[in-house]
Amino acid sequence: RYNGRGELEFLGRSDSQVKYMGHRIELNEIEIAALAVPFVESACCLFDSDRERIVLFYQSIEERNADLIRALRDILPRYMVPGRLRYYRELPTNRTGKIDRAMLKASLDKPQGQGD
């Protein structure tokens, strides 16, 4: 945007790239890797900047965190493997039907409840 003096100001990134452990990571690449795992129905990856970790939210019939981590370790470089997994029977969606990333981001500070 332009400020009051007509100078262009950089407000931040509008994509999903983060810098983590010295590497530039596209979070959607982690989502794509998770979706390649047969039991994962849907996935959303966010960066928890407060705790400096990658969090993968995934939808599946049942919680299979250990299986998913093993599969992601086979697919992704070590620095891209999420530091936390959050299982949901159904990921929240917004009114347009897309995954509600804002709601998931807000849930980072809350403990995961039953049946998220």
- What pLDDT shows up at residue 115? 42
> pTM to 2 decimals?
0.81
- What pLDDT shows up at residue 12? 58
Report the alpha-carbon distance of residue 81 to residue 64 in Å, rounded.
Answer: 15
3 with 10: CB under 8 angstroms?
no
- What pLDDT shows up at residue 8? 82
pLDDT tens-digit series, residues 64-80: 999 999 999 999 999 99
* Residue among 77, 74, 75, 60 at smallest CA distance from 20: 77
Report the alpha-carbon distance of residue 30 to residue 53 in Å, rounded.
Answer: 13
pLDDT at 114 over 60: no
pLDDT tens-digit series, residues 100-109: 999 999 998 7
Angle, in degrees to the nearest 10, between helices 65-75 and 27-35: 110
Report the alpha-carbon distance of residue 108 to residue 101 in Å, rounded.
Answer: 11
- Using DSSP, state whether 112 is helix, strand or coil: coil
pLDDT tens-digit series, residues 12-63: 555 578 888 888 999 999 999 999 999 999 999 999 988 899 999 999 999 9
